[in-house]
Structure 1
Amino acid sequence: MQDRPEDVPAQPQAQTSPQPGSTTQPTPVPAPQPQVQAQPLPQPRPEPAPGPNQGATPTVTYGAPPAYPPAQQYAYGQPPGFPPPPGGKGTAGRAVLWAAVGAVAASVLWAGGVLVLGPLGDNADLAGYRAKANLCSAVDYTALRTEYAEEDNVPTHSALKHKAIDQSYCSISLKTSSSSSYADAYLSVEMDLHKTTDPAPEFTAVWSEYAQRYEDYEVEEVSGFGDEAYLVTEDTTSGSGTSGSRAVTLAVRDGWMTYQMSWSTYSSSYETTTPPEIGEVSRWVKTDTRSTLENLRSD
């Protein structure tokens, strides 16, 4: 038997089973530890596969499958029937959609306005008349001054200008002389330029049937003034002419222009004389209307 060299380790002795009745426990031999291998990281989910006619279906590797298929992109947000995705993108998409719809609607309304409203103003037949800011400057009442010699130096006037209508109004106090304490009669003139609606039907209805309002009025259609004209008169004075009132109105329509010149007085306004007769005042009003209309057309 050869001696073991000193630098060679001794071989482990085999473990023997304890003898029956022995109390000595065997020394356990530690089991070899398994090697831990690194697991590969999950790969990102692949992009959606192309359509059936655009190539082969790619192989899905790691990663959980998507809960829903990717939504198709629409120019104005989600298609009808689909809830908007989280993050507020659906709200922005709807805003773009409504903005586009609003632009289209505005274009349609604008086009409708041009087609509907434009021709109305273009077709207005104003017969050459012009609106006046101060209608009194154009009113000629020379014929009436045969009776009312005193001129009113402070007549009142008003005007309204709108895309649908222009209105001018003038009110003049009439005095027979400078000695009159108050006005003996009153003269009012109004001109309306209707720029979007033809006033003919309503003008005819109002003035041709003016007598329906009051029993004391009389209506006469007269010629020589525009397209149609009506002379409306009232006389409620007694035989002596010391009570009651008298009034004369000439209403004229020329195209889409309407005009009224009205004279009125009370018998009690005259201090020393009686008011002029209706027939005489009617002639004055006709003469002054003709010259006033000429002024309104030429200015």
Structure 2
Amino acid sequence: MSTPPQPPQPADQPAPQPGQPAPQQGVPPQPTAYPYPNPQSPPPGNFYAQPTLVGQPAPPQAGVPGNPYAQPPQYGPVPAPPSGGGGGAGRAVLWLAVGAVVASAAWAAGVFLIGGTGDSADLRGYSAPSNMCSGADYSSFKDEYPENDSSATHNSLKDKALDESYCSLSLKKTGSSYADAYLSMQVDLHRKTDPGPEFTATWKNYGDSHTGYDVSPVKGIGDEAYLVSQDTTSGSSSGSRYATLAVRDGWVTYTMSYSAYLSSYDQDKNPPALTDVSDWLKTDTRSTLEQLKN
């Protein structure tokens, strides 16, 4: 089979050999949207680039020996910039590499600073008992309510994020068959989050979210404490009296709540005044917090 005729070639170029593509004439370099120098060729002014000798294979890249697709390591020693005469593109590539190394180091440092210590809860030696009814002090109420509650309820929670213990009991005057008032105590040890901002928002502003309650800050108990109270009796035979003392000490919160309800059949057993109840709450809360410390 005869060879097809070849197109005429310019005088300054040799005719192509069989199996080789004909050279293209007058094709200018194609534009690109990539704003940085071609990573496969050394940027202008980079005197570290090694020339490739004609007829010799390119030197192997770092990575798996003999693997032509291996990529060079992303982070390594950053060479010093040329002392002078380096091109702007070369300096841009150099500073990109420096920025990548610095950013990587800063990220690693941030991880160690944020998560390195683990437990940073400010628990101040407090512990949550398994039975809050026996772990709390409410002796100030005994003179008014001497009868013991044989059916008091309690529960507790132990978790890496929160330790909690709770007690609810009935208060009875002498000779009462039914509860004349109710008392509850709860301690929370916040192990992962600081309860301070939410505690302040909840109790300092309790009167804004609950109509008819009085809120007073209490000094000398924990880091902050608030007394919330309400009296709807107004000298009648119905209504209720309510008071809660809420305390935060570090990442530990404690609440002690009292409530009493008037009815027509126990008018001779009126509940104590809220001023007395408030004093009892403060006294027993101080004592309980001391007991809960190791």
TM-score (norm. length: structure 2):
0.61
Larger Rg computed on CA atoms: 1
Q: Which residue of 1 aligns with 2:92?
A: none
Task: Return the match for 2:228 from 217, 226, 232.
Answer: 232
Deviation at 1:135, TM superposition (A): 1.3
Q: Which residue of 1 aligns with 2:9?
A: none
Q: Which residue of 1 aligns with 2:293?
A: 297
Q: Is the 8 Å Cα contact of residues 129 and 165 (structure 2) preserved in structure 1?
A: yes
Deviation at 1:294, TM superposition (A): 1.0
Deviation at 1:168, TM superposition (A): 0.9
Deviation at 1:154, TM superposition (A): 3.1
For residues 132 and 269 of structure 1, the distance between their equivalents in structure 2, rounded to whole angstroms, comes to 39
Does residue 150 in structure 1 map to residue 147 in structure 2? yes
Deviation at 1:136, TM superposition (A): 1.4
Task: Say what the alpha-carbon RMSD is for the aligned residues.
Answer: 3.0
- 3-state SS, counterpart of residue 226 of structure 1: coil
Task: Return the match for 1:119 from 117, 121, 133.
Answer: 117
Q: Structure 1 residues 181, 253: CA separation in 2 closer, same or farther (over 3 Å shift)?
A: same
The aligned length equals 201
Q: Structure 1 residues 78, 145: CA separation in 2 closer, same or farther (over 3 Å shift)?
A: farther
For residues 129 and 116 of structure 2, the distance between their equivalents in structure 1, rounded to whole angstroms, comes to 24
Q: Which residue of 1 aligns with 2:245?
A: 250
For residues 156 and 110 of structure 2, the distance between their equivalents in structure 1, rounded to whole angstroms, comes to 31
Deviation at 1:153, TM superposition (A): 2.8
Amino acid in the other structure paired with 2:255 = Q
Deviation at 1:166, TM superposition (A): 1.0
Amino acid in the other structure paired with 1:134 = N
Amino acid in the other structure paired with 1:181 = S
Deviation at 1:119, TM superposition (A): 3.0
Identity rate of aligned residues, in percent? 55
Q: Structure 1 residues 146, 120: CA separation in 2 closer, same or farther (over 3 Å shift)?
A: farther
Q: Which residue of 1 aligns with 2:219?
A: 223
Matching of residues 38-187 of structure 1 within 5 Å? 79=69, 115-119=113-117, 121-122=119-120, 124-177=121-174, 179-187=175-183
Farther off after superposition, 189-198 or 150-159 = 150-159
Deviation at 1:139, TM superposition (A): 1.0
For residues 53 and 281 of structure 1, the distance between their equivalents in structure 2, rounded to whole angstroms, comes to 96
Q: Is the 8 Å Cα contact of residues 234 and 247 (structure 1) preserved in structure 2?
A: yes
Does residue 211 in structure 1 map to residue 207 in structure 2? yes
- Residues 213-252 of structure 1, C-alpha deviations (whole Å, 9 max, x = no match): 2221000001110111000001111323x10111010000
TM-score (norm. length: structure 1):
0.60
Amino acid in the other structure paired with 2:254 = Y
Q: Is the 8 Å Cα contact of residues 183 and 269 (structure 1) preserved in structure 2?
A: no
Task: Return the match for 2:263 from 265, 268, 274.
Answer: 268
Deviation at 1:160, TM superposition (A): 1.2
- 3-state SS, counterpart of residue 121 of structure 1: coil
Amino acid in the other structure paired with 1:260 = T
For residues 112 and 147 of structure 2, the distance between their equivalents in structure 1, rounded to whole angstroms, comes to 52
What are the ranges of 5 or more consecutive residues in structure 2 without an aligned counterpart?
1-54, 58-62, 71-107
- 3-state SS, counterpart of residue 183 of structure 1: coil
Deviation at 1:145, TM superposition (A): 1.0
Q: Which residue of 1 aligns with 2:8?
A: none
Q: Structure 1 residues 115, 185: CA separation in 2 closer, same or farther (over 3 Å shift)?
A: same
Does residue 282 in structure 1 map to residue 278 in structure 2? yes
Deviation at 1:285, TM superposition (A): 0.9
What are the ranges of 5 or more consecutive residues in structure 1 without an aligned counterpart?
1-51, 55-72, 81-109
Q: Structure 1 residues 243, 195: CA separation in 2 closer, same or farther (over 3 Å shift)?
A: same
Q: Is the 8 Å Cα contact of residues 120 and 196 (structure 1) preserved in structure 2?
A: no
Q: Structure 1 residues 175, 282: CA separation in 2 closer, same or farther (over 3 Å shift)?
A: same
Q: Is the 8 Å Cα contact of residues 165 and 193 (structure 1) preserved in structure 2?
A: yes
Deviation at 1:53, TM superposition (A): 5.8
Deviation at 1:279, TM superposition (A): 0.5
